[in-house]
């Protein structure tokens, strides 16, 4: 009986912690609020999240190297399947100070420490690689 308050406190504390997916969404929202024309005009839309591995990172770097005519990074190996973050596809709305409504989207990688990196969208990379 004397452990009941401790158990309740532990359950309350762990129940309030955000899931990794919610943390990734929050990190992207904070990232965008600092970059849109006016933070109060940012309206988040849909999120689509996927695991992001070292292999994904090396493939992205390889595509960017080909687009920019740079030497390619090392090829991914079967051991490069470790998850290094979360890939977040996010649609959002913004409004400029002139009242122009902008719909946009982006692809971001959120690392476990909360660091957010903006990626060049896959559709743009494919189009540039096809040229």
**pLDDT beyond 70 at 12:** no
Q: What is the mean pLDDT of the chain?
A: 86
72: its two tokens: 């390619």
- Nearest-5° Cα angle at 22, 78 to 19: 75
Dist. CA 6–CA 93, nearest whole Å = 44
Residues 6+ apart with CB under 8 A from 97: 37, 38
Indicate whether 18 pLDDT > 80.
Answer: no
User: From CA 77, how far away is CA 55, in angstroms rounded?
Assistant: 7
Domain residue limits, the chain: 19-130
Q: What does the CA dihedral 110, 112, 113, 118 come to, rounded to 10 degrees?
A: -10
Q: Which of 6-10, 53-57, 105-109 has the lowest mean pLDDT?
A: 6-10
pLDDT, position 116? 96
Characterise 51 by phi-psi region: left (phi > 0), alpha (psi -120 to 50), beta (else): beta
* Residues in Cβ contact with 14 at an 8 Å cutoff, skipping those fewer than 6 apart: none
Read off the pLDDT of residues 58-101 as tens digits, 9 standing for 90 and up: 999 999 999 999 998 888 888 889 999 999 999 999 888 888 89
Give residue-wise pLDDT tens across range 34-60.
888 778 888 999 999 999 999 999 999
Query: What's the average model confidence in pLDDT over 93-116?
Result: 91
pTM: 0.79
């Amino acid at each position: 009986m004397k452990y009941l308050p401790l158990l309740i406190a532990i359950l309350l504390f762990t129940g309030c912690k955000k899931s990794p997916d919610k943390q990734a969404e929050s990190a992207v929202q904070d990232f965008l609020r600092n970059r849109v024309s006016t933070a109060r005009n940012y309206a988040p839309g849909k999120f689509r999240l996927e695991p992001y591995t070292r292999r994904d990172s090396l493939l992205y770097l390889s595509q960017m190297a080909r687009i920019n005519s740079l030497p390619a990074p090392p090829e991914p190996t079967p051991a490069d399947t470790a998850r290094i973050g979360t890939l977040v596809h996010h649609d959002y709305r913004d409004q400029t100070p002139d009242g122009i409504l902008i719909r946009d989207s982006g692809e971001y990688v959120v690392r476990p420490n909360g660091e957010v990196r903006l990626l060049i969208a896959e559709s743009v990379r494919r189009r540039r690689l096809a040229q």
